[in-house]
Structure formats: C-alpha cells, structure tokens
Structure 1
C-alpha cells in the first residue's frame, strides 16, 4: 500500500491540476508511391494543405540521388539519372522487405539500368551499391521521409507553438506483408518520426471520398480501383451512417468497412512503360545494331522517353518519340501510335478483371450490388483500360465509372485524415474504419527432430488489430520445440524453444499453481504488422489470507490526517510540544479503554477473500529467419547516425551556398551602382574610391568562381565582410553629412526662437482702463474681441515659426521641413 504524508498528498494533487496539456502537434500524411510522392499537412493554423516541393510542385518523383556528398530528391534526382544511373535510386518501393533474389528485385533491374543491388548484411534485404558505399532501401526511404518532413515544417506558422513534425500517416498497398510494413515503420523511425497509422491506398481514398459526403442508413457498396505505377488493387468498401443511441440531437457516425480486396502486384504503369520501351529499343536495334545494350545511360534515356510517350498516348492517337544523341551520336526519332501500344498490351488487359472478382468473392457480393467504381492512380487514365472496365467489369454500365475524386491527391488527403482520427489531437468528422486482416496468421509447432506436432491459428482472416495471450497445446515432457510463424502460409520467423520443462519446474517450485498453461504473447497491430513478444508458462496463484485490520487502520489513519490537514488542524512532529498539546490533559485509563473498545467496534476484524494472481515464467528461445528480416536496433542506430551526418553536411552546404549567392549578387550590385552612376553612391564617393570598389567586386567574383566552390563557410563570410567594410566607409560619410545638416537646421530653429522671444519681451504692456465697460459674454463661449492675443510659442527644429498675426487666426497646420531619407546602401 502506498503511504504519503498529507502535505505530500496535497502537493501531488496540485501537481496533477497544474500539469499543462500538451500542445497540438502537426500530422503529416505521406503517399509514397512507386512513381511519385505526395504529402499533406494538418497543424494549428494549417488545415489540410498539400506540401509543395522546392519548385512549388504538388507531387514529385519518388527517389534519392547522390552527387558527391550532396543528396538530390524528386525531379532533381530523376534529372541526373541519365548521366549517372548508378547514383540515382528511383521507384524503389517494391524492394522494401524483399531479398536480392526476389522477383521484385529481378523486375527492378530490368527497368532500371546501371543499378547494382547487394544484400544488406545478414538480413537478406536489398541495399543499393555505390562507388564507395551502400545504402539499405529503408535508409533511402528514411531520407525521403526526412526531406518531406523538412518541407512540411517550413509551412508551419512561425507564431505557432508547433514547430516540428513528429507524427506521420503513410499509405501502403493492401497486399504489403508484415515485413514490408515494418520496413516502412523502421524508415520512419530512422527519419525521427512516429507512424500513427499505415493506411491502405484504397482505404485512404474511401476516407477522402466519404469525408465530404453523407450516406443513409442502408449500406452502400463502392469499389476503389487504384492503378498506380507498380500494381493494381480493387478495394470493395461499404459506407453506412449509424445513429448513436441516446443522443439528443440524432448524432450519427459514418462506418467504413473493407468488405473485400483483390490485387495484381505487377499490373501497373511501369509495365506499360516497359512495353513501349521494348518497341523503341527494337526499332533502334533494327536500324543501328545492338551496341546500345552495353550503354546504361542510353537505356535509361530511352526508358524515360517511353514514359513520356505513354503519357501523351492517353490523350493522342500518335506521338513522335525523339532522343537526341541517344547512342554513338545517333539521333533517334520514330512514330508510335496508340494502336501499336494497345496491340503490345493485349495480353495484359484480361488481368484487369481478376482483382474485382477476388474482392466480390471475399464479400459474397455481385457486381450488380456495386453503386460505383472510384478511379485512382495515373494508369486509370489510359483509355483502353477504361473500356475494359466498362465492358468486362461493369457489364456495359458506364454510369458507374466514378471520376469525382482527385486521382493524384485523394489517397494522401485520406491518409492524413486517418492520421488525425487515430491521433485524436484534432476535432474531425467521426468516421469509424474497419480494415480487417486479409490473411490468416498461424504457427506450426514442431519437435526437436523436425516432426510437425500441429498447426494452430493465431489471428484468422478478418481479424481486427489487437494483442492477445494465446494458449498453445504442447505434448507432455517436450523439452525442445520449434515455432514457425506464418502469414498466409508464408514463413515470417522461427522461434527455437529451449528448456521448456525446466521453466515449468521453476514456476511450480516457487508457486502453488493452478490452471498451468503455455502462453504465446502475439500481436496484430492496427497497421497489420504481426509480432510475437515472448513465450511463457503461466498460472494462477491464490493469495494467502491477510487480516484486514492493519491495512484498514492504516488507511483510516491516513484519511484522518488528510481530513485534519484540510480543516487546518496540522499534526505536530514527533518530540515537539505546542500550546494546544500542553493544555490538553492526558486521558485516564478508563477513557483509553473506552476509546479502544469504540475503535474496535467500528473496525471489526475481517479477512480478505482469497484472490488469485497471475504469475509467469518466460521460456528461453532463439529467433531465426528463413527469408528477409527487418532492421535490428543496432542497424537502425547506425542508419540514424549516418542520416544525421548527411543532414549536417546538407546544412553546412546550404549555409555556404547562401553566402556565395550573397557575394555574387552584392558584387553585381556594386558594378551596377558605378556603371549606372547611382546618385547617392556617386555623391558620397570620389572616382578613385569607386574604381577601387569596382576592382574589389570584380576580384570577389573571380575568387568566387575559382576558389569559392571549395572554400569553407568562414572564408566566404570573411570575403563578404571585406566588401561590406568598404561600403560602410561610404555610408558613414553620408551619415556624418546628414548629421551636419540636421545640426544646422536645429541651430537655425533655435536662433529664430530666440528672435521671437526677444520681440515679445520688448513689447509694451497692454493696460485696460477701469472705467471701460466690460463686454457682454457671447452665448457660445467665444470672445468678440480680436485685439487681445496671447502667444505661447515652442520652436522645434522641424517647424516654421508663426508670426504674431498668424497666431491670432484660426489654427493651421505648421509647415514641416522635409528631411532627407537615410536608407542604407
């Protein structure tokens, strides 16, 4: 039992009251697509704004490139890919959580030439090889997230208490497994942010679709078709407004439920780009030979042209492909028609219907039950795909093809809204989202000889995210065992259990156990990441019977002390006496016996009923992986340190670039002043000074171009200070001249004031005869006499002294002397 003195208890209560509530934080939503990336921000003073790039674009290319120690992002990274393909890492999202030998890695190398992939240490995941280093794919994603986070923080109001972004919501394809999802969470952790939610693309679009609409009490079924650069998914969702019971104003909540999901992991825009690329490559080889196959730069440029051709063919029937000096100084030009393109993808078209069929089967619904198909992703703009949807999916009903969401930004806006809802930091429309697991999670139990004992389900298909203690059934006297955890039949990791019976004996020896069970602590998070937190023996132990008097008396004594404290009756410390205690007589023996019996009668002896408590004994285990695995703590710490080192280099480079720009612009401005004879500059300098200044500016520019690129920040600031010192001399000269002019004006004003004062002193005193009748006062309070004038004059440097006549007339604004402006050069 916790014991606190009354004063300590009061302090504790006050502290609870005075602890300030945490300030509202910013939520960053990121749609990190295979081809492009979008981001949105919500913060106090920033309601749902798209995060713009440095060149004010609403989306950017997904990727990172290296130019020496400088990192480039987005379109800048894509821009150097044709020149240095081995240093530009674009469109790497499919490689998250995958090994070098995976089909995803093989497809990636076919579409990105000049790239070398290597294993990430002993994790079997992908790393990108550079000339002198390598970068795990999670680290590259962390760099992209960190860059987006910096762009978002620049949008935060300067006056706001929120100046940093700590929480993000990120979109994921619905088919991403636990390893891939955990890789995204690891990347966010390296970037210094926390993932509040991983939101499937279809769910994010559905949230955005529903956020500005109302639905009835009947369920409405809609498909969200997301055809992106790398994959296609069809998410069948239902919308339903549910009235809250007992609410006075009929408040309702919108429920969004994922009824079924279908997908094709390889059907997307990149596949279409590849088909056009093959057309262009075949024509070049036919005309000029296959030497181009040995040039990664030429192949990257041809692939980039294929992407452009596909985009134009969505709106035109033909397009001219053109690449200047593609290979061996050969200019490549050819015409590609939409008919040729559609012929090249005929084998792909039947694959469009399968995701719809799988989702309808999972939901036990028919396409006639669907009200609309919401289009998402750039590939849905390809005309032939829309024709296939209308004909083969919607059975000719084109009215159900919905294009009323922003195909580029609906996912990122919905993910941001989901992040807001999960974080509960902002007030938003109440939307309940149920996104159940689309796979089953189970464990295969084997003995030390490899014989399978049995398979037990952990989280069946359709489970919501939760953490559970699951009892496992093991044979008696089993000392060693293997637990293989699987996701949809695919192995995730293996627990090797040791000394099972020894752990059991330890628990039995130290406790009087009942209901002894073997328990697995497993979790399926809301973001659908599966994990195991340990294995243990557990049992219920009955607490021994404890008399209630001691605890009760202590509690009563403590309550009485607190009550007395608030009444103002403070108890005295031991060993001290006060007037109150001195004046109080000691009780007699009979009084003590009466008080004792009274106290005893108020608190009769009682015992607490036996209460069981849970005790556990962990079982030793080792973890192994049959495939790729996620980052450990040490690996993440190393990546975080390297990311911070790059950030420091970037910060120093940006500071140097800023000073270089200042030196360059300042030098050109000096030249402009002198050549165009800037009035103020010419007025306060002589010809020799101007020529000296011009030579200094020219020398600074020459130094900047020759040596300034490699100079450290201190040297650049020193050069800038040298130029400023020369200007300061001229500015000081102008300042001194202005001070002289101002002193002369003040002296003139003082002389004028003295002259007026002398005239007033020499004037004769005005005498009014006693026998002259007094004037009758005028009703409005003004005097009819215009001869009596009292002059009170305060002469200021910038005011014109009024004459005697002027002071007796109506008030007039004093004329001011214009002062020259004191703008700095």
Structure 2
C-alpha cells in the first residue's frame, strides 16, 4: 500500500472534531490528540506522564489503573490484569496465552468463552471477564484522561495494532473500544504509523531517488521490523506554483511474537528466583508464589532500566518470602 502524506496533511488541516491516536501497547499505552486548527499534542495522565501502564487492578469494587494498578499488582497479583492485549481475539491454546501462566508465572485463572470462542479470566471466583471487557476498562480510562486533557469529549480514535494481528484480534480491539464508548475510525499497524510520522518531515534525497529505511520496533511483547521506501515528486499547485508530495510504501515486514522487553524482565526474574530458591527448604520454588513472583518481576523491570545506563546494580527485595530478603547483583 502506498501512502501519500499530502493527503494526511489535508485531512488534519480540515478536521472538524478532535481525534485521538492511541498507541495501545502490551505494557504501556500513549495518546496523541489532534484538535481542529492546532498541531497534535501528547496527552498526559493523572501523574503528568506521557505513557500509562496497560493494566487494570481491583481494590474491592474499585477499578484502579496505570501506576496505581501496578502497585496493587505487587501486593495482590491475583486481582491485577496486565498483558491484556495478548488475550484479545485468541484462544486458550494460543502459545502467547498459555505462556503467561505456564512460563511467565502470572496467577491468572483462564477459561474459554463458549459463545465467542475467545479467552476469559475468572476474577475472585465470582466474576468472569472477557478479554474485550478488560481492554474496554483500560480504554475507558484512556478516554477519561484524553477528555480531561482536551477539556471536552473526544469520541473518534485511531488505534495502532501489531502487524501480526489477525482479523479476530483486530475485531476484538474494535469491540473493546465500542464497549468503552469510542468510535474507531481506523486501525493502523504500529510500524506503518511510525513510517507515517517519519514521512511528515521527510525531505528526500537531493537527486530525488527513492530512499529505503528499516523500522526496528521492539516492544514489550514482540519485535516488528519493516522496510519502507520513500519517494518525492513535484506536482503543480495552482498558477506558477509547485508542491512536493512525499509517498512511502511498506516493501516488506517481519516479526517475532515471542521476543520483547518482557522476556528480558522474565530472564532477570528467573535469575533472582533461582538464587533465592537456594535459601528455601523442601525444594520450594518461589516462582509458584504469586506475590513473591510479582515482586521479582517488579525488581526485574527496575533492574533492566537501571542497567541501561549502568554496568552493575545491587538488587534487594525486602521480605520476598518467609521473612527472608533477596539480595543479589545484576550486570
């Protein structure tokens, strides 16, 4: 598919209502807001952050989102639901679904929705939430912070999806958005959205030759790579005027659904768990203890971030299990 950027500029320049562009990631979501006659803005959440954790937790009957929900996940992981996107439009035997409970030690109780054939999650043995319902809760929170930022309702959204999403997964995104009370104008592949953004300010080569670039997108749950070709051409624009049109085409794309930042977190958490298990008796495994494993995942995420700028970091998790601390190092 060939995208013409002058068309995008024309649409944005004449938009009659506010539109939100939602980058719905596996671990975080981000929102861009386009209002009539104004350049786009990045929406900030209640903590004045540009990205918000893709998670919903329950504190009794109250729903909690974002960083506050992450705090609950560490204390009560059985009532905190993250990695929601991986459940959408899939079945229980999908490798990325079964991996969450079998290999990544999330304490979820999954069940099959017989009507839709999709995944549902049991909550407190009292409620069953469809994956679309959980995603709709997150979308509802996203809608609220967008409306607050825009100082008015924003009903129209464009949502990014991974390039490997099949039709059932894309439809599940649309269904979740509709439950949340927003209208999806379009779904766009994540890498295509990045290519579009790059093309807005693209100048082109001096000789006018096509230029190819590679987009490397490693997210929380997957790796996606695209090869994109940009071209420019000059066309008449009124009397004695010309304008330059930028076009791009996605020539090829590839992905790995199993390789993402969460896998780095898991490797660190596994290292910490193995070291702590040497302190336990009777062959106990801290991975089987939901609260302890949630603490190790949180420590792994923090360690990964710190190691991005440091060669070594001491890791301490107080009262990990059985009144014992975990103390170690990562490099």
1:315 matched to which residue of 2? 309
2:162 & 2:41 partners in 1: Cα distance? 23
Checking the alignment, whether the CA contact within 8 Å between 2:231 and 2:247 is kept in structure 1 is: yes
Taking the TM superposition and a 5 Å limit, the aligned residue runs for 1:489-568 are none
* 2:251 pairs with 1:262: no
1:306 matched to which residue of 2? 300
Taking the TM superposition and a 5 Å limit, the aligned residue runs for 1:798-817 are none
User: How many residues are paired up?
Assistant: 311
TM-score computed with the length of structure 2 as normaliser: 0.89
CA RMSD of aligned residues (A): 1.8
2:114 matched to which residue of 1? 121
Divergent runs of 4+, >4 A: none
1:255 & 1:186 partners in 2: Cα distance? 32
1:293 & 1:145 partners in 2: Cα distance? 31
2:192 matched to which residue of 1? 203
TM-score computed with the length of structure 1 as normaliser: 0.37
2:246 & 2:104 partners in 1: Cα distance? 43
Task: Provide structure 1 residue ranges, at least 5 long, that are not aligned to the other structure.
Answer: 1-21, 158-162, 338-825
Q: In the TM superposition, what is the alpha-carbon distance from 1:185 to its structure 2 partner? A: 0.9
Deviates more, 1:103-112 or 1:93-102: 103-112
* 2:321 pairs with 1:327: yes
1:311 & 1:150 partners in 2: Cα distance? 29
Match for residue 152 of structure 1 among 132, 141, 146: 146
Q: In the TM superposition, what is the alpha-carbon distance from 1:247 to its structure 2 partner? A: 4.8
Taking the TM superposition and a 5 Å limit, the aligned residue runs for 1:107-506 are 107-109=99-101, 110-131=103-124, 132-157=126-151, 163-216=152-205, 217-244=208-235, 247-248=238-239, 249-289=241-281, 290-337=284-331
C-alpha spacing 1:291/1:251, structure 2 compared with 1 (3 Å): closer
1:295 & 1:35 partners in 2: Cα distance? 22
Q: Alignment partner of 1:300: what SS?
A: helix
Task: Provide structure 2 residue ranges, at least 5 long, that are not aligned to the other structure.
Answer: 1-13
Checking the alignment, whether the CA contact within 8 Å between 1:326 and 1:332 is kept in structure 2 is: yes
1:783 matched to which residue of 2? none
**Which of the pair has the greater relative contact order for Cα pairs under 8 Å at 6+ separation?**
2
CA shift digits 1:511-558 (9 cap, x unpaired): xxxxxxxxxxxxxxxxxxxxxxxxxxxxxxxxxxxxxxxxxxxxxxxx
2:251 & 2:128 partners in 1: Cα distance? 42
Checking the alignment, whether the CA contact within 8 Å between 1:129 and 1:135 is kept in structure 2 is: yes
1:214 & 1:23 partners in 2: Cα distance? 25
Q: In the TM superposition, what is the alpha-carbon distance from 1:291 to its structure 2 partner? A: 4.9
Taking the TM superposition and a 5 Å limit, the aligned residue runs for 1:622-661 are none
Q: Alignment partner of 2:278: what SS?
A: helix
C-alpha spacing 1:45/1:307, structure 2 compared with 1 (3 Å): same
2:66 matched to which residue of 1? 74
1:247 & 1:241 partners in 2: Cα distance? 19
Checking the alignment, whether the CA contact within 8 Å between 1:234 and 1:263 is kept in structure 2 is: yes
Q: In the TM superposition, what is the alpha-carbon distance from 1:213 to its structure 2 partner? A: 2.7
CA shift digits 1:422-477 (9 cap, x unpaired): xxxxxxxxxxxxxxxxxxxxxxxxxxxxxxxxxxxxxxxxxxxxxxxxxxxxxxxx
2:224 & 2:15 partners in 1: Cα distance? 38
Q: In the TM superposition, what is the alpha-carbon distance from 1:138 to its structure 2 partner? A: 0.9
- Higher normalized helix content (fraction of residues): 1
1:72 & 1:46 partners in 2: Cα distance? 32
Match for residue 47 of structure 1 among 35, 39, 43: 39
* 2:91 pairs with 1:99: yes
2:248 & 2:17 partners in 1: Cα distance? 26
CA shift digits 1:22-55 (9 cap, x unpaired): 9921100111111111111111365311111111
Checking the alignment, whether the CA contact within 8 Å between 2:15 and 2:36 is kept in structure 1 is: no
Q: In the TM superposition, what is the alpha-carbon distance from 1:112 to its structure 2 partner? A: 4.6
CA shift digits 1:619-675 (9 cap, x unpaired): xxxxxxxxxxxxxxxxxxxxxxxxxxxxxxxxxxxxxxxxxxxxxxxxxxxxxxxxx
Structure of greater Rg: 1
Checking the alignment, whether the CA contact within 8 Å between 2:112 and 2:119 is kept in structure 1 is: yes
- Higher normalized strand content (fraction of residues): 2
